[in-house]
Amino acid sequence: MKRVTTFAAALFLFALIGNLAVLAVEDDPNADNWRTPKTDEELRYWLENMVWYHDFTSEEIELATGLKPKEIEQALQKFNIAKSTKPRRNPERILFVPYPGGRHPRIGFLDGAIRPQRETKISVITPWDESSYVVLDVPEAIWSNLGLTYLAHTHVPTIFDKQEIKLEKQEWERRDDGSLFLKRKLPNGITFTSEVIGKPDHLRMEMTLTNGTAEKLTGLRVQNCVMLKGAKGFSEQTNDNKVIEGPYVACRDETGRRWIIVAWQPLNRAWANPPCPCLHSDPQFPDCDPGQTSQVHGWFSFYEGEDLKTEIKRIDVLKWWEGK
DSSP 64-114: HH---HHHHHHHHHHTT-SGGGPPPP-TTS--EEE---SS-S-SS-GGGSB
Averaged confidence pLDDT in the chain: 91
Which CA distances in Å does 315 have to 136, 253, 269, 279?
19, 20, 19, 18
DSSP state of 169: P
In the chain, what percentage of residues exceed pLDDT 70? 90
**Paired strand residues for 304:** 258
pTM for this one? 0.89
pLDDT in tens, 123-170: 999 999 999 999 999 999 999 999 999 999 988 999 999 999 999 999
CATH class held by domain 95-322:
mainly beta
pLDDT in tens, 171-216: 999 999 999 999 999 999 999 999 999 999 999 999 999 999 999 9
Please, how many CA atoms are within 13 Å of residue 49, restricted to the half-sphere of its CB? 24
pLDDT in tens, 68-127: 999 999 999 999 999 999 999 988 889 999 999 999 999 998 888 889 999 999 999 999
DSSP state of 118: G
Task: Sort strands 278-285 and 220-227 into parallel, antiparallel or unpaired.
Answer: antiparallel
With a CB cutoff of 8 Å and minimum separation 6, the contacts of 105 are: 99, 116, 121, 135, 137, 227, 229, 230
Confidence at residue 22, expressed as pLDDT on a 0 to 100 scale? 33
Residue ranges per domain, the chain?
95-322
